[in-house]
Structures are given as structure tokens and as C-alpha cells.
A and B are shown apart, each in its own frame.
Chain A
Amino acid sequence: MAALTAVPLLAILGEVLLRGYHQLSWAFFTEPTPTAYKAMKAIEAGEPIPGGIANGIVGTMIMLGMAVIVAVPLGILCGAFLAENSKNRFAQFVSYLTDLLQGTPSVIIGIITYIWVVVPMKGYSAIAGSVALCIMMVPLIVRSTEETLKILPASLKEAGLALGGNKARVMMRVQLPAAFGGIFTGILLAVSRVIGETAPLMFTALGCSLIRFSVDKPISAVPLLIWEFFNDPNLQELIWGASLFLLLFVLALNLTAKYLAKKWNQ
């Protein structure tokens, strides 16, 4: 029975690998998406489709980076507050809201970000995309921070306080460093969870066929590209290379997270 649960994952991995591996080349990671016309020409000539997904990779990294910069401190602060005040009514309420936010469908987060950010800024942008990703990451980081802090031995905190430290200093210098492994694992899992999100980016980042570094203009992302390739008969060949890249990236993040969690538990 247990083996059955592994079947879908292996099947997906096998399929994507078989269809996608021959597209992976240096150019695939360094060149932007080709136009449909160029792709059509290449297909007619029987050549491989030129270009790659560099615009998507750059966009994904920029938006993830901005989301992480905001979500990590916010999530850790909130998680620390919840762990320290688990009996407080307000904290219990916030904790409940965190659960709700975690369960909110990503398409709704997308449309809300559209109203909150895209409309006032009068345009799609990397900023809007990162806001949507950030909203999705915060509850995940809050939870992992809270859970990790709660399983630390109470003696650690007491030892810190017994030396005369105030709560904030003991949190910053003793508890959070001791919980670093668990929190970092949580951050990696949060990143791997949102990196493949497509729906919220459709409402916010929109997409772009150029490699762009500006944060106030529409920008591409790897999952957005997969959707675009699917909708263009000339580009469909590129779906698998992009999917393989995304899959391997998430897999690598998960393995790193698992490795760190194990190392930290020792």
C-alpha cells in the first residue's frame, strides 16, 4: 500500500523527465522565450526551438526574493509572539486566523492582490506578484516558527531568564538561534510551496517575454511560462523543459529542508 503512494510521484517525475530532458541546454537557462514566429520557423525547418525560460527564472527569483525579505521577519516575529503567548486570547485568535490564511485558495489571494496593489498602482508588476506570494508564505513561516519554538526544552528559556535577561533578549539570543534549523526548514518549505503558484501571478505579475529586472513592470515567472506555452501551439515543446526545471528545483529545496531538519534534530 505504501508503495502505491510513491507511484504518482515517480510517474510524474518519469514523464516530465522523459519529455523534458532533451530541451535542457545552456541556452534554455540564459535566453528568453522565443516569439511564436521564431518557434514556428524552427519547427518547420525541423530544428529545436530556440530560446529558453530565462525571463521566467529571473522573474521568479526577483518576486520570491522580495517576498522572502518581507515574509521571513514578519513570520518569525509573529510565530515567536504566538509561541510565547499561547494562553493569551488575542494570540489564540491570531493563530486561528493564520490557519485560515493558510487555507485560503491561492486564486483568491491573487484577485485580492489585484484589487489592493495592481489597481492602485495602475498596472501589473513584480511588486504585486511578490505581495501575493508573501501573503501565502507568511502563515507557513509563522506556523513553523511557532512549532519549533514550542518544542525547545523549557530549561533553555528559563536558563536565559535566570541570568537576568529580558524576554526579548532571551528570544533573540537563545531561543531563536536554537530554533534556527527548524525555522530555516520552514522557510525553505514555504518557498517551495509558493514557487509553483500560477493563479495569483496571473492577476498580478501577468508575464513578459523579456528578461526584466524592474520591479514596477509586468514580469514573467516559470509557472506562468508553462501556462503560456500550453496556450501557444508553437511553443508547446517548451512546456516540459520548464516543468522539469520547476520540479527539480522544488525537489532540491525539499531535500535540503529534510537534510537540515535531520541535522538539526541530532
Chain B
Amino acid sequence: MESVIPILEFKKTCVSYTKQTMAVKYVSAAIERNTITAIMGPSGCGKSTLLRAVNLMHSLYQNIRVDGEILLNGENILSMEPIDVRRRVGMVFQRPAPFPTMSIYDNVLSGFSLNGIKLSKAEKDTTVEHCLKSVALWDEVKDVLNKKGTFLSGGQQQRLCIARALAMKPDVLLMDEPTSALDPIATKHIEELLLDLQKEVTILIVTHNMGQAKRISSKSMFMYLGELVEYGDTETMFTNPIDERTKAYLTGKMG
């Protein structure tokens, strides 16, 4: 039997904000390539903290410790340069955060400019068009590419942020409750988009919304008080959860 290296693997990953308390406790899980994996759990269970460990966001803050291993294509990212990791692991935040001083066009290309990578005008044009098409934003903005990114609606801004992350051709896309600040229609657009995008990129999405996890993810993690309680096929987890805590959360008795 051929062993396939998972695209992303947590091995006894721990994150602690202070010496006494751990926000994420010994999480081990292997993420499958080209899937959408949802991370669910009540507020404060450590799901965003786990997600932010993957692109080394925690290294920006003193006092936060990440222990264990996180393997990206078999390589431990905790011993890699943050800049190299972040080029391969994109991130989309809860609130749409297009760069306010940049045009829509420059926002899509901001990953290149922030990395000091120079592109020719033709390369720029094709990248912008391709990325905006893959987030289904091209038709809406192709005539206003020089307007500021903040000129768009919330849902469009979030799609712009996804396009900006995709432009760097990441292996993994991390999404931290990307639709919680959006209305239902914009949310639906994003969800359809993600289902499409999983062909190109592996998506790890933190969500508060159980319905969303059920609609888009093929694998789900349930976290509680920093522990990974259950990890498996979304369908199985929703119909037949193994752990009592998962069951209590999914049936609304807890959370």
C-alpha cells in the first residue's frame, strides 16, 4: 500500500497564551488534499487559535507558544521561516480586509508587491483576470478595477480577499469565519465559490455555523475546551456522532 503524505498534518499541536493555560491541547489530525475541512465548536474552544497556528500568525505576538508539530507536505512549519510558510498558506479573515489605499487591481496583486515580486503588465493583467474570475467577481468589477477595494459591498470585499489569497497559489487556504460578517445571500455566494475552489486548493474553515459546515465540508473537526473531540466525515458526524459532547453541540444542547 502506498502511503500518501497528507497536505497538512497536526501532530500533538499545542498553543498556549500563558504558561498555565493551553488554548489548544495536543491536537492531532491529518487534512486531506483538495477537501474542505470545517472546524466547529463553541466560542473560546480554540478553533481560531488552531487555524492561526498554521500560518504562524502567533509568531507576531510575544508570549504565545506553539508546541508539537504542524506538517505542510511533510515539512514541519514550526521550524520554517514565517514568510515562506505564509506564501504557501493563504488566509481569509472574519472581517473583509481589503487594503483600503489600494485599488481592486492592486489588492489582487498585493501578495506579489508585498513579497517584492515584480510582474510584467501582461502577467499582472492575466493574474488579476484569472483570480477575479475564480472568485466570480470579474464580471462585477471588470470596469472599475481602478476603484478602491473598500468601494465594494461586504460580500464582494470578502471575495476580493479570497482572490488576493489565491493569487499567491497557496497549497492551503485558511478561513476564519469568513461569512460571519456577511448577509445570507453573500454567504451563499461564498459557499458556492468554496465548493468550486476545493479543486484547486485545500480549505480549512473555522465556522460557527453548523449549517454551513454541513453544506460545504466533507470533513469536520469538533473542538471543545482546546481539545479535538472528534474528527471525521461531516456526514457521519452529523448523523452519528461518536462523542457525547459532539452530539450535545450538534443538537443544540451545548454551545
Q: Identify the A interface with B (CB < 8 A).
A: 87, 153, 155-156, 158-166, 169-170, 173-174, 177-178, 180
- A173 and B83 CA atoms in complex are apart in Å by 16
**For residue A158, which residues in chain B have a CB less than 8 angstroms away from its CB?**
57, 60, 93, 97
Pair A169/B116 contact, Cβ less than 8 Å: yes
Interface check B62, CB cutoff 8 A: yes
Instruction: Determine the chain B residues whose CB is within 8 A of the CB of A155 once the complex forms.
Output: 93, 95, 97
- How many residues belonging to B are interface residues under a CB distance threshold of 8 Å? 28
B236 at the A/B interface (Cβ < 8 Å)?
no
Instruction: Please tell me if B26 contacts chain A, counting CB pairs below 8 Å.
Output: no
The listed residue (B57, B95, B115, B161) touching A165 by CB distance below 8 A is: B115
Complex Cα–Cα for A166 and B116 (A):
9
> Are B114 and A170 in contact (CB-based, < 8 A)?
yes
CA distance A161 to B89 in the complex (A): 11
B93 & A164 in contact (Cβ 8 Å cutoff): no
* Given A87-B62, A169-B116: A163 and B110 interface contact (C-beta under 8 Å): yes
Q: How far is the CB of A202 from chain B (nearest CB, A)?
A: 42
Would you call B113 an interface residue if the criterion is a C-beta within 8 Å of the partner chain's C-beta atoms? yes
* Residue contact B91 to A162, C-beta cutoff 8 Å: yes
Across the interface, which residues of A come within 8 angstroms of B165, CB to CB? Answer: 162-163
Q: Do the beta carbons of A177 and B161 come within 8 Å of each other?
A: no
**Does B99 sit within 8 A of A, measured CB to CB?**
yes
Query: How many pairs of A and B residues are in contact by the CB < 8 Å rule?
Result: 76
A174–B57 CB distance below 8 A:
no
Interface bits B43-70 vs A (CB < 8 Å: 1, else 0):
0000000000001010010100000000
Q: How far is the CA of A162 from the CA of B53 in the complex (A)?
A: 12
Assess whether A173 is in contact with B113, with CB atoms less than 8 Å apart.
yes
CA distance A169 to B115 in the complex (A): 8
Chain B residue nearest to A176 (CB atoms) is B101
Chain A residues near B62 (CB-CB < 8 A) = 87
Q: Which residue of chain B has the shortest Cβ distance to A174 in the bound complex?
A: B99
Q: Known contacts being A159-B161, A169-B116, A178-B101, is A164 close to B95, with CB within 8 Å?
A: no
Q: Is the CB of B101 within 8 A of A165?
A: no
Complex-state Cα separation, A125 to B29, whole angstroms: 71
**Are the CB atoms of B114 and A178 closer together than 8 Å?**
no
Query: When chains A and B are docked, how far (Å) is the Cα of A177 from the Cα of B116?
Result: 17
B111: Cβ under 8 A from any A Cβ = yes
User: How far, in angstroms, from A158 to B165 measured CA to CA in the complex?
Assistant: 13
How far, in Å, is A20 (CB) from chain B's closest CB?
42
Given A162-B90, A166-B114, 13 other A-B residues pairs in contact with their CB atoms under 8 A: A155-B93, A159-B99, A161-B60, A162-B86, A163-B111, A163-B168, A164-B83, A164-B87, A164-B115, A165-B83, A169-B116, A177-B99, A177-B101
With A173-B114, A174-B114 in contact, is A161–B86 under 8 Å at CB?
A: yes
Residue B164 lies at the interface, judged by CB distance under 8 Å to chain A = yes
A178 to B98 alpha-carbon distance, docked (Å): 11
Alpha-carbon gap, A174 to B161, bound state (A): 14
**How far, in Å, is A92 (CB) from chain B's closest CB?**
14
- 4 shortest interchain CB distances as A-B pairs: A165-B114, A164-B87, A177-B101, A162-B91
Contact A178 B99 (CB under 8 A): yes
Q: Which residues of B contact A164 (CB under 8 A)?
A: 83-84, 86-87, 111, 114-115, 168
Please tell me which one of the listed residues A162, A163, A165, A178 contacts residue B100 in the complex, with CB atoms under 8 A apart: A178
Q: Give residues 160-215 of B contacting A (CB, 8 Å).
A: 161, 164-165, 168
